[in-house]
Amino acid sequence: MTSISLSVSGAAESVRQVARAFDTFSASCGIAGPVAQAVQVALDEILSNTVRSAFAPGQTGRIDVRFEVAQGVLDILIVDDGIPFDPLARAEPDTKAPLEARPVGGLGIHLVKRLMDDVAYQRLEGENRLRLRKKIIGS
């Protein structure tokens, strides 16, 4: 299996659905250990953010996810029809602040940027398109 696509709603349970889909895909591609775990963390950050803030109250929402492996690189495309939102535009959190002043917001996207090799956002034809890439050779 070199690619898999799924479409989920903008509901909270979709985050787990996507995690399960990646479990299946990663097992079939031999992606395991720290690389698979890093991808699961990134997916949790992105998807939980999307179901929490991309859709208006009462809007079902749609999120399309595609996993593909080609030439040793995992390519993930996450597309939603929610409000325009570029997660990468968010300011970097202060990761050196003392305990009392430590911010929680923004940590998720910071992790995604660091755990993945490449992250790109595009607003196209009324959709948010986020592309994550991660080298899997040697994983």
| Residues contributing to the site for other proteins (CB under 8 A) | 15-16, 19, 33-34, 37-38, 40-41, 44-45, 47-48, 95-96, 99-100, 102, 104, 107-108, 110-111, 114-115
CB of 124 to other proteins, least distance (A): 26
> How far is 28 from 40, CA to CA, in rounded Å?
15
> How far is 66 from 77, CA to CA, in rounded Å?
5
Sheet holding 118-124, edge to edge: 3-9, 62-70, 73-80, 127-135, 118-124
Comparison of 11 and 122: residue with beta carbon closer to other proteins: 11
CB of 84 to other proteins, least distance (A): 22
Comparison of 41 and 77: residue with beta carbon closer to other proteins: 41
Those residues whose C-beta lies under 8 Å from the C-beta of residue 40, and which sit 6 or more positions away, are 19, 22
Comparison of 43 and 69: residue with beta carbon closer to other proteins: 43
